[in-house]
Amino acid sequence: MNEIEKTEDCCGHGGEGCSDMEKKARDDKGLGMGVIFFIVAFAVCFLSGWLVFPKLLYSSKEQPFNFDHALHVSEMDGCDSCHYLREDGTYNGIPTLESCMECHDVEPLGETEDEAIFCEKYVATETEVPWLVYSRQPDCVFFSHAAHLNGKNPMDCVSCHGHIGESEKCKPYEENRITGYSRDIWGKNIWGIKKNPWDRMKMDDCAECHLEETGHQGACFQCHK
Amino acid sequence: MKVDRRSFLGLGLGAAAGVALSPVGAKLTDDSSIWTQTWFLTPVPEDGEITFEPSVCSLCPGKCGINVRKITNRPVKVDGLEGYPVNDGGICLHGISAIQYLYDPSRVKTPMKRNGDTFESISWETAISEIKQKLGDIRKSGSASKLACVSGDDKGSVAQLFQRFLSAFGSNNFYTMPNLESALALTAQTMHGEDATIAYDLENAGMILSFGAGLIEGWGSPVSCFKANASKKDRGSKLYQIEARLSNTAANADKWIPVKPGTEADLALGICAVILKEKMFNAEYAQYFGGNFNKFAAMVQNKYSVANVSQTTGVPEAEIAKLANLFVKFNKSKSVAICGRGKANDAVSLKEFAAVHALNCLVGNINQKGGAWILPQNEYLQFPDVVTDDAADKGLSAKQISTSATGFFSKIKATSKPDIEALFVVNANPCHNLHDAKYITDVVKQVPFVVSFSSFMDETAKQADLILPSHTCLEMMQDLPSGSGVTRQVVGLSKPVVDPVFDTKNPGDAIIELAKSFEGSIAESFPWDDLEGCLSEVASDIWDTLSEDGHVVVSDKAPGSLPSVDFSFLAENPATAALAGDNNEYPLILIPIDNMRVAPGAQASSAFAVKTVADTVIKGKDGFIEINPATAKNMGIKDGSEVKVTTPSGSVVVRATYFHGIMPGYIGMVQGLGHDMNNMYVADKGVNVNELITPVFETGSGLDAAFGSVAKISKA
């Protein structure tokens, strides 16, 4: 006869022959196990959610080769030498190979391994560099750089993109396995908590800034056409 | 240690609480919502480099400059081209839809040959060789004149190459579909004896007296007219709209003067009579009045007295006198009178055009700022003489069958032995767009050999024996001269902004290829390799600028000299063509309505344009007639109910919609609908009003002047 059957024999038929104390002791013991299971399960799931889940959710990819933003910013005098608004108000985004080749050629400009990769693999073969774009928004989002860079109070690049212009190394590109978009949109913090405005690029972040600057968080159709 | 039910409960609750307090739930919810947008069925345009390519739109006679936005060579948007002399950045809804024509489901994707009731694909080589064989047989039998061609217009090198092919082959039977430009040229010829066209300086005119011209319904060069209309308030200009129905233009005008349709010429002559009687005509310009001016003056004062005209037109006598005074004395600047109902690409009457032009002559606005300009035809194309042989000379000695496309089809008739052996149709859809469309279709069916150069399997292409599919507007290189009443004479160059989507050709290249497949004089008349080679030679004076800048302004000023005026045609008081049919049997009059959102030309409306049409024009697949509630209530017809409309040409079932803006006794139906094409977005919507109208031919000009049809309606 196992433990459970014994319990039923003793208390299952109206508790004949069992004292109140014994009953209470057994109840407490059952509750105790439940609490232990609760705590263990809670701890495992809570910690997994915080520590393991992010690692499972994002894959890490390296850029085709390292790009030294700091060097280029100093050489080219600012972000807008390569990332600029066209005359018609559209934004060029990541420069094309043709833009890069305005300075670079098949012969490397520098001696770094990255420069060699760029020249051999892309310039020589006239292949566009498949850059992984940290700030690419989902296709359902329309964002106008012109609206944010022109006008009375133009924003600076750092407000949204952070200090990427000062970086010498490209950080790994973390891709969300479910959505296919960059981790930088949601933010490094898995709970979405940010310290700086550029830590996240979600809709709430846009709305927060719009509310602050314009007094209204904006309407749906402004970004979702 | 016992594992009991509580343990499991604890486990479950602990796991749930752990997950709930971790970011998993919120993050997965957010991610899954984004994930649903990445499903493979969600259309996502490719990212890429954005470029713009300027070109010229050929969808309508407006010939506006366009700027095509492309992403990695894929056209995604069409804008108006800033600075283009015709439209200066403006564009209409058909122009912005030009991209939809590229992927239209009814496009003909390869050359096609009829096989019984169906078509089979063939190669371009086979198609050209078959046409050469058939046409060669016709020439050998001494019947070169039995080749005819119906074209959308006769301007530009593509149309003129087709006309040249017919001449080299030995036929005079080249016809254009009814259009404003032809009517203006005929008017200039009749009133001034010049090979010229008439343009209207609407953007500087003080008072525009419009005899039904739909300035915001697509008349002339639509965007140019929109702009002139939009600026009239700032300029202190006035628009007086004389029209049977409260069109958008009439509603937008400073004054709407309802008139019985078909009596516009009478009203114009009545106003002329007042001006002459009161001696208000321009004495300075009167010295240029030759040819029977006195006879004309006497005739109009005799036949078109205010009382008579009021009786005919339904316009009050006082209104006619007031209009005459206002037209002459409008103090801001010159007044100008224009005509051509709606888009003016339907029926036109030379009497009406000449009568309205007589008003311009009397007020002396000819070649003046804000007036009517008599511009020499834009002869930038200098083709060498056509080389002909005996067969061609014999064919060219035969008389042209008619002076108009409708007249041509009416004369060749659906007999077992037609007067025509072969027919080319280019940039036109006569089986849908000409009056009595079903009859025209029967005639085309009887022609032994029909070659269509249409981009789409339209009503006429369906009757063809061979289809040589053309590029659409965005795929094609061609020269496009402005016209249709625009004062700036511009030649634009349409450029291929995208590689051909299907196995199609430029019809200019196709006709050169066909001509070169012949030996002898026909090939000699076409010494060029392709259309571009041809243009660089025959338009050599302007070619460098045209190919570099995309357009050439030939002239943008009024001619310095004043032309003489010949009133002989009007002095004879030509008869007004009356509608065919018995008024007792058919007590109502059906008039076609031009709607800016519906394209009535060679190309049907785009899917986008159809979606913008009001539900009193199309609802689902149902078409409508407009009817005045007074007329409808007399007949017991309710708003929205189905009615059967019958005319001498046929009958259709449509729905009735009440409209106080149409005169009692008249019904109106939008034209350009009721297409029979493989395009679910456009076809089978409404009915084709042209199937209900019987052509009537104006004596003298031979033009189809049917402004509508007698009709009757009954509950369906």
The model's pLDDT over B495-509, given as tens digits with 9 standing for 90+, comes to: 999 999 999 999 999
Exposed / middle / buried, residue A56 (Cβ in 10 Å: 0-12, 13-18, 19+) = exposed
pLDDT value, residue B364: 93
Q: How much of chain A is helix, strand and coil, in % rounded to 5?
A: 50, 5, 45
Cα angle: B583, vertex B584, B585; to 5 degrees: 95
Mutation site, B7, B40, B41, B68, interface A, largest A CB count within 10 A: B7
Minimal Cα–Cα distance from A111 to chain B, Å?
A: 30
The tokens for A11 are 């208390």
Residue B6 and residue A191: Cβ atoms within 8 Å? no
Using CB atoms, which residue from A38, A43, A139 is nearest to B37?
A139
Instruction: Please check the confidence at residue B174 and state whether its pLDDT lies above 80.
Output: yes
Name the band, by pLDDT with cuts 50, 70 and 90, for residue A190: confident
CA atoms of B376 and B174, how far apart (whole Å) = 22
Tens of pLDDT, residue by residue over B59-94, are 999 999 999 999 988 999 999 999 999 999 999 999
Exposed / middle / buried, residue B482 (Cβ in 10 Å: 0-12, 13-18, 19+) = buried
Name the band, by pLDDT with cuts 50, 70 and 90, for residue B331: low
CA atoms of B184 and B356, how far apart (whole Å) = 11
Rounded to two decimals, the ipTM of the complex is 0.81
Instruction: Please check the confidence at residue A6 and state whether its pLDDT lies above 50.
Output: no
Residue B18 and residue A190: Cβ atoms within 8 Å? no
Which of chain A's residues have a Cβ under 8 Å away from the Cβ of B30?
186
Residue B250: C-alpha distances to residues B164, B212, B241 (Å): 42, 8, 5
CA atoms of B209 and A203, how far apart (whole Å) = 56
- Name, in order, each residue with C-beta under 8 angstroms of B294's C-beta and a sequence gap of 6 or more: none
The tokens for B488 are 């700036």
Residue A207: C-alpha distances to residues A147, B46, B257, B318 (Å): 15, 27, 54, 64
Residue A179 and residue B49: Cβ atoms within 8 Å? no
Q: Is B652 helix (H, G, I), strand (E, B) or coil?
A: strand
Residue B52: C-alpha distances to residues A99, B74, B93, B498 (Å): 18, 10, 19, 12
Residue A48 and residue B3: Cβ atoms within 8 Å? no
H or E element that contains B449 = strand B449-452
The tokens for B603 are 């190309």
Q: What percent of chain B has pLDDT over 70?
A: 99
The region of weakest confidence among B84-93, B219-228, B328-337, B477-486 is: B328-337
Q: Is B15 helix (H, G, I), strand (E, B) or coil?
A: helix
Instruction: Please check the confidence at residue B330 and state whether its pLDDT lies above 90.
Output: no
pLDDT value, residue B612: 94
Cβ–Cβ pairs < 8 A, chains A and B:
115
Instruction: Please check the confidence at residue A37 and state whether its pLDDT lies above 70.
Output: yes
Tens of pLDDT, residue by residue over A175-185, are 999 999 999 99
Which of chain A's residues have a Cβ under 8 Å away from the Cβ of B38?
179-180
Residue A42 and residue B17: Cβ atoms within 8 Å? yes
Query: Which residues of B fall below an 8 Å CB-CB distance to A?
Result: 1-19, 21-24, 26-28, 30-32, 34-35, 37-38, 42, 44, 49-50, 52
CA atoms of B509 and B57, how far apart (whole Å) = 19
Tens of pLDDT, residue by residue over A49-98, are 888 999 999 999 999 999 999 999 998 888 999 999 988 788 889 999 99
Instruction: Please check the confidence at residue A7 and state whether its pLDDT lies above 50.
Output: no
The tokens for B313 are 């037109």
Instruction: Please check the confidence at residue A13 and state whether its pLDDT lies above 50.
Output: no
CA atoms of A127 and B342, how far apart (whole Å) = 55
**Average pLDDT over every residue of B572-601:** 92
Tens of pLDDT, residue by residue over B631-667, are 999 999 999 999 999 999 999 999 999 999 999 999 9
Compute how many other C-beta atoms are within 10 angstroms of the C-beta atom of residue B17. Answer: 16
Instruction: Please check the confidence at residue A28 and state whether its pLDDT lies above 80.
Output: no
Name the band, by pLDDT with cuts 50, 70 and 90, for residue B1: low
Minimal Cα–Cα distance from A170 to chain B, Å?
A: 23
Name the band, by pLDDT with cuts 50, 70 and 90, for residue B415: low
CA atoms of B180 and B237, how far apart (whole Å) = 24
Using CB atoms, which residue from B1, B9, B50 is nearest to A34?
B9
Question: Which value, in Å, is the radius of gyration of the alpha carbons in chain B?
Answer: 29
Instruction: Please check the confidence at residue B450 and state whether its pLDDT lies above 50.
Output: yes
pLDDT value, residue B210: 97
Which of chain B's residues have a Cβ under 8 Å away from the Cβ of A3?
2
pLDDT value, residue A105: 86
Residue A176 and residue B31: Cβ atoms within 8 Å? yes
Instruction: Please check the confidence at residue B416 and state whether its pLDDT lies above 60.
Output: no
Residue A33 and residue B6: Cβ atoms within 8 Å? yes
Reported residue count of chain A is: 225
Tens of pLDDT, residue by residue over B233-261, are 898 899 999 999 999 999 999 999 999 99
Residue B31 and residue A88: Cβ atoms within 8 Å? no
Tens of pLDDT, residue by residue over B143-163, are 899 999 999 989 999 999 999
Residue B381: C-alpha distances to residues B319, B485, B486 (Å): 47, 20, 19
Name the band, by pLDDT with cuts 50, 70 and 90, for residue A30: low
**Average pLDDT over every residue of B194-212:** 93
Q: What percent of chain A has pLDDT over 70?
A: 86
The region of weakest confidence among A184-193, B43-52, B248-257 is: B43-52
Using CB atoms, which residue from B18, B31, B44 is nearest to A42?
B18
Instruction: Please check the confidence at residue B413 and state whether its pLDDT lies above 80.
Output: no
Q: Which domains does chain B have, with CATH numbers?
A: 5-38 (no CATH), 50-102 (2.20.25.90), 120-179+388-555 (3.40.50.740), 197-376 (3.40.228.10), 588-715 (2.40.40.20)
For chain B, give the mean pLDDT. Answer: 93
CA atoms of A214 and A147, how far apart (whole Å) = 13
Residue B18 and residue A45: Cβ atoms within 8 Å? yes
Q: Which one of A87-91, B121-125, B679-683 scores highest in mean pLDDT? A: B121-125
**Average pLDDT over every residue of B7-29:** 90
Residue B1 and residue A33: Cβ atoms within 8 Å? yes
Which of chain A's residues have a Cβ under 8 Å away from the Cβ of B24?
49, 53
Minimal Cα–Cα distance from A79 to chain B, Å?
A: 19
Name the band, by pLDDT with cuts 50, 70 and 90, for residue A31: low
Tens of pLDDT, residue by residue over B355-366, are 999 999 999 999
Instruction: Please check the confidence at residue A11 and state whether its pLDDT lies above 50.
Output: no
**Average pLDDT over every residue of B256-278:** 95
**Average pLDDT over every residue of A155-166:** 93
Cα angle: B8, vertex B9, B11; to 5 degrees: 60
Using CB atoms, which residue from B18, B28, B38 is nearest to A46?
B18
Mutation site, B1, B3, B24, interface A, largest A CB count within 10 A: B24
pLDDT value, residue B50: 81
Alpha-helical regions (H) of B430-497:
430-433, 437-446
